[in-house]
């Protein structure tokens, strides 16, 4: 094993780690903002509201992320004139934008299903109690349903965060220099394939288990009311 | 059907290979999962350590990195150590890698399904003189399959989508062929969209088969409702 190459490549891989974290963070934040209304619409009684959302979720969960990325990054080229006309081509020509765009839609679909599960798991008695107290509409959602649903969905959401972090490795295929992208470029230049891919794998392992550690801590905090006091003392 | 400038048949050929890679990888994953669960549940500390390391590492590293590591890394590693040239067949490398990755996920599925079997049944089987293979074949496996089906179905859904990644090692499966078609027809959106619909088709058929299989596996179970 050539340790020197690994050492020399560390700065590049650290830059790559910054890109990976950035992509994960932006997509997660935007995806979550999309997922909450999607989950509520998915549970709407009117079929005109829930069927399009169901179709969106089904498509993004049923096809590989790689296809979705190519569909946006290369596929947008087919509509270049139209996109140019409405002034969106400047975005779709950038690999970074396409990556965030696709990852956001993808994670929004998965997260919407997770939040829907959380909303449906909220005990109906709590909603009845809230109604009896005079809450309705957005107040009921904000104070009772969504806050409880988030807590219930947190363990599943942790998994989704880890999957998304790993999924960002695909952006290396559309020329972005995340951890995988940096490792691929250095590896093909130096022929030190296993050294670099193993180092990249270690980077991901650290990130994944770091995220898991933090999210478990948050989960512990969120479930404080469920632990019996005698166990804490 | 849509012709895609004559590239439709190429896509269908890729579709066949995708299904083939998926089925073989799933078989590898199930075998590895059974061995993994066996190792994790066995009393041996060494076996537990190996399996825990396997599942921990595989679940923490992206599939793409593992595929690149196996396809490009292992040949160079072998070359450095033993000084022999090895060249992987992309088909075998793809199946082995995808199977190896999802073996880690099915290990957890099988471990859970083993733990779901009431201990009394194993005791009863032992009291009747069954041991080892016979106990596994007659008592454990049929019931584990029932408990494992939902989990295995999930593994399959993720696995079949992950096969798109082996296109990076030039295996002419659906994704790779869609790529070729997109480049030559200059209709990237149409070609990738057609490919995505084929993947969606696999997902839909899988969901239907999974539902049927679960009904079949649960035919002997009586429920309160």
B165 → chain A, closest CA residue: A66
Q: Specify the pLDDT at position B61.
A: 95
Task: Kindly report the pTM of this predicted structure.
Answer: 0.90
> Would an 8 Å CB–CB cutoff place A205 in contact with chain B?
yes
| Of residues A113, A166, A197, A78, the one with CA closest to residue B185 | A78
Question: Is there a contact between B65 and A209 if contact means CB atoms under 8 Å apart?
Answer: no
Residue to substitute from A13, A58, A64, interface B, most B β-carbons within 10 A: A64
Mean pLDDT of B201-215: 93
CA atoms within 13 A of residue B160's CA, in its CB half-sphere: 26
Q: What is the mean pLDDT of chain A?
A: 91
Angle, in degrees to the nearest 10, between helices A146-167 and A95-120? 140
Mean pLDDT of B119-143: 89
Question: Is there a contact between A170 and B64 if contact means CB atoms under 8 Å apart?
Answer: yes
Q: Specify the pLDDT at position B78.
A: 86
Look at residue B225 and tell me whether its pLDDT is greater than 60.
no
What is the per-residue pLDDT across A105-127, written as a single tens digit (0 to 9) for each?
999 999 999 999 999 999 999 99
* Residue B83 confidence class, pLDDT cut points 50, 70, 90: confident
Question: Is there a contact between A172 and B57 if contact means CB atoms under 8 Å apart?
Answer: no
* Residue A231 confidence class, pLDDT cut points 50, 70, 90: low
Mean pLDDT of B20-47: 93
B204 → chain A, closest CA residue: A62
| Of residues B26, B52, B51, the one with CA closest to residue B148 | B26
Mean pLDDT of B132-156: 89
Question: Is there a contact between A78 and B187 if contact means CB atoms under 8 Å apart?
Answer: yes
Q: Specify the pLDDT at position B1.
A: 47
Burial class (CB in 10 A: 0-12, 13-18, 19+), B219: exposed
Question: Is there a contact between A204 and B195 if contact means CB atoms under 8 Å apart?
Answer: no
Mean pLDDT of B31-57: 92
- The single-letter DSSP state of residue A148 is H
Determine contact, residues B143/B117, Cβ cutoff 8 Å.
Answer: yes
Mean pLDDT of A34-59: 94
Q: Which residues of B fall within a CB distance of 8 Å from A78? A: 186-190
- The single-letter DSSP state of residue A141 is I
Residue to substitute from A106, A168, A201, interface B, most B β-carbons within 10 A: A201
> Would an 8 Å CB–CB cutoff place A197 in contact with chain B?
yes
CA distance A104 to chain B (A): 18
Q: Shortest CB distance from A63 goes to which of B60, B69, B199?
A: B199
Q: What is the ipTM of this complex?
A: 0.89
What is the per-residue pLDDT across A142-167, written as a single tens digit (0 to 9) for each?
999 999 999 999 999 999 999 999 99
What is the per-residue pLDDT across B85-127, written as a single tens digit (0 to 9) for each?
877 888 999 999 999 999 999 999 999 999 999 989 989 999 9
Question: Is there a contact between B164 and A67 if contact means CB atoms under 8 Å apart?
Answer: yes
* Residue A232 confidence class, pLDDT cut points 50, 70, 90: low
* Residue B2 confidence class, pLDDT cut points 50, 70, 90: low
Q: Which residues of A fall within a CB distance of 8 Å from B168? A: 173
| Of residues B37, B62, B63, the one with CA closest to residue B152 | B37
pLDDT-above-70 percentage for chain B: 97
Q: Which residues of B fall within a CB distance of 8 Å from A66? A: 164-165, 167, 175
Q: CB pairs under 8 A, 24+ apart, for B90-93?
A: B90/B166, B90/B169, B90/B170, B90/B171, B91/B21, B91/B171, B93/B169
A64 → chain B, closest CA residue: B161
Look at residue A75 and tell me whether its pLDDT is greater than 60.
yes
Q: Specify the pLDDT at position A60.
A: 95
**Residue A162 phi, psi (nearest 5):** -65, -40
* Residue A225 confidence class, pLDDT cut points 50, 70, 90: confident
Mean pLDDT of B52-80: 91
Interface of B with A (CB under 8 A): 57, 59-66, 68-69, 72-77, 80, 161-165, 167-168, 175, 178-179, 182, 186-190, 192-193, 195-196, 199-200, 203-204
Q: What is the mean pLDDT of chain B?
A: 90
Question: Is there a contact between A180 and B167 if contact means CB atoms under 8 Å apart?
Answer: no
Query: Pick the residue with more confidence: A133 or B84?
Result: A133
Question: Is there a contact between A67 and B199 if contact means CB atoms under 8 Å apart?
Answer: yes
Question: Is there a contact between A191 and B204 if contact means CB atoms under 8 Å apart?
Answer: no
Question: Is there a contact between B57 and A205 if contact means CB atoms under 8 Å apart?
Answer: yes
Determine contact, residues A171/A99, Cβ cutoff 8 Å.
Answer: yes
């Amino acid at each position: 094993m050539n340790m020197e190459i690994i050492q020399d490549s560390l700065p590049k891989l650290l830059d790559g780690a910054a890109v990976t974290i950035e992509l994960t963070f932006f997509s997660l934040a935007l995806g979550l903002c999309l997922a909450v209304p999607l989950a509520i619409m998915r549970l709407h009684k009117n079929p005109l509201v829930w069927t399009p959302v169901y179709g969106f979720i089904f498509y993004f969960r049923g096809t590989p992320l790689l296809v979705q990325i190519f569909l946006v990054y290369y596929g947008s080229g087919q509509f270049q004139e139209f996109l140019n006309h409405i002034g969106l081509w400047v975005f779709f020509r950038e690999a970074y934008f396409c990556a965030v765009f696709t990852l956001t839609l993808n994670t929004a679909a998965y997260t919407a299903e997770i939040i829907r599960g959380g909303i449906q798991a909220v005990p109906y008695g709590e909603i009845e109690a809230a109604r009896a107290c005079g809450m309705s509409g957005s107040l009921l959602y904000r104070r009772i349903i969504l806050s409880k649903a988030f807590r219930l969905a947190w363990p599943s959401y942790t998994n989704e965060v880890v999957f998304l972090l790993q999924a960002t490795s695909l952006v290396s295929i559309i020329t972005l220099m995340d951890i995988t992208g940096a490792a691929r470029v250095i590896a093909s230049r130096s022929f030190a394939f296993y050294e670099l891919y193993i180092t990249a794998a270690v980077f991901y392992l650290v990130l994944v288990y770091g995220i898991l550690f933090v999210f478990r801590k948050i989960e512990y905090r969120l479930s404080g009311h469920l632990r019996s006091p005698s166990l804490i003392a | 059907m849509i012709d895609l400038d004559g590239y439709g048949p190429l896509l269908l050929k890729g579709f066949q290979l995708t299904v083939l890679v998926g089925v073989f990888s799933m078989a590898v994953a199930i075998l590895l999962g059974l061995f993994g669960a066996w190792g994790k549940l066995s009393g041996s500390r060494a076996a537990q350590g190996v399996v825990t390391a396997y599942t921990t590492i595989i679940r923490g590293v992206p599939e793409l990195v593992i595929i690149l590591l196996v396809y490009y890394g292992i040949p160079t590693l072998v070359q450095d150590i033993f000084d022999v040239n090895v060249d992987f067949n992309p088909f075998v490398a793809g199946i082995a890698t995808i199977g190896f990755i999802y073996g880690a996920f099915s290990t957890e599925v099988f471990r859970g399904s083993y733990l779901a079997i009431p201990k009394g049944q194993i005791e009863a089987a032992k009291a009747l003189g069954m041991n080892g293979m016979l106990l596994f074949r007659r008592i454990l496996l049929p019931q584990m399959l029932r408990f494992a089906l939902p989990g295995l179905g999930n593994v399959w859904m993720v696995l079949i989508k992950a096969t798109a990644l082996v296109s990076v090692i030039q295996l002419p499966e659906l994704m790779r062929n869609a790529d070729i078609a997109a480049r030559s027809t200059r209709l990237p959106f149409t070609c990738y969209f057609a490919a995505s619909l084929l993947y969606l088709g696999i997902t839909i058929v899988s969901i239907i088969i999974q539902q049927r299989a679960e009904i079949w596996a649960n035919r002997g179970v009586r429920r309160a409702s």
